């Protein structure tokens, strides 16, 4: 007894699209905005960026008359306005890691690399889309944090500072730029490690564990090394003034952008050489 299998022919598509960087970027945008973790991470980052400066400003305003002269001198309005950036960077970094490691954990990376055989356009698209989205979503909260904290501190003229004052606009916008570069750096670390827990641990170790450990070194060694660490270089971007042993904002931006470029370069080499 023979069984005849009828051949089924699928209709041809009218046109076959070419894989371009723009189309890969559109694909990565679809992935990014469709993830629930994206919305939650950015929401947490926005709340921290605006909420912490508001809280610190309220505490400062209510306790100002009870502070010592030394405590009052250490309260700079720009430090208060940008206090949220120091914590919201964690939410941005975790999301940056998840953008790439999430695909490795689910196996979706195989489909992505099958659709884009040259591989590198996937990495460039992920980094570019994430950077643009991060800056667009975070620049508003950073600026809002400045004006909200200034409104809360309105009763204390010594804590008032104009947005147009020398260096203030650059520092405030630098906070949003810092968060953007943090996200790109974390994404690159995720691409290198390819594991969510490992990448987050590597990022946290580099930014929050290694800098305090440098304090065990002789002071002159510590001062010579610390200013060139990624954490210090990044923070120089949104510092209003720089001291003897800290980089200028332009120098910090150049160095931290260099760290991001180096991390992406390493991730690119490993992405090409390793199996998915």
Q: Domain boundaries in the chain?
A: 21-273
Q: What is the DSSP string of 76-104?
A: -HHHHHTTTHHHHHHHHHHHHHHHHHHHH
pLDDT attached to residue 71? 80
pLDDT attached to residue 243? 72
Cα–Cα nearest to 146, from 207, 229, 76, 230: 76
- 3-class secondary-structure state, position 246: coil
Q: Which residues of the chain have pLDDT under 70?
A: 1-17, 276
pLDDT attached to residue 228? 92
pLDDT attached to residue 220? 87
- Alpha carbon distance, N-terminus to C-terminus of the chain: 45
Output the CA–CA distances (angstroms, integers) from residue 136 to 52, 132, 133, 264, in the order listed: 20, 6, 5, 21
């Amino acid at each position: 007894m023979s069984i005849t299998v009828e051949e089924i022919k699928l209709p041809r598509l009218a046109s076959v699209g070419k894989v371009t960087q723009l189309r890969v970027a559109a694909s990565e945008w679809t992935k990014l905005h469709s993830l629930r973790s994206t919305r939650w991470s950015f929401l947490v980052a926005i709340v921290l960026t605006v909420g912490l400066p508001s809280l610190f400003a309220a505490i400062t305003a209510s306790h100002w008359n009870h502070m010592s002269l030394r405590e009052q001198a250490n309260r700079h309005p720009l430090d208060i306005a940008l206090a949220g950036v120091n914590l919201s960077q964690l939410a941005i970094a975790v999301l940056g890691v998840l953008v790439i490691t999430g695909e490795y954990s689910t196996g979706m990376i195989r489909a992505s690399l099958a659709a884009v055989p040259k591989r590198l356009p996937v990495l460039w698209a992920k980094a570019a889309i994430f950077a643009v989205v991060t800056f667009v979503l975070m620049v508003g909260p950073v600026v809002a944090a400045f004006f909200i904290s200034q409104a809360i501190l309105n009763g204390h003229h010594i804590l008032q500072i104009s947005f147009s004052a020398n260096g203030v606009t650059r520092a405030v916008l630098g906070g949003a730029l810092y968060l953007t570069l943090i996200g790109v750096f974390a994404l690159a670390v995720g691409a290198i490690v390819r594991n969510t827990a490992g990448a987050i641990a590597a990022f946290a170790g580099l930014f929050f564990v290694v800098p305090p450990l440098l304090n065990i070194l002789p002071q002159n060694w510590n001062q010579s090394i610390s200013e060139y660490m990624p954490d210090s270089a990044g923070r120089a971007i949104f510092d209003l003034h720089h001291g003897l042993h800290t980089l200028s904002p332009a120098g910090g931006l150049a160095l931290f952008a260099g760290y991001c470029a180096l991390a992406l370069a390493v991730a690119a080499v490993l992405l090409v050489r390793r199996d998915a």
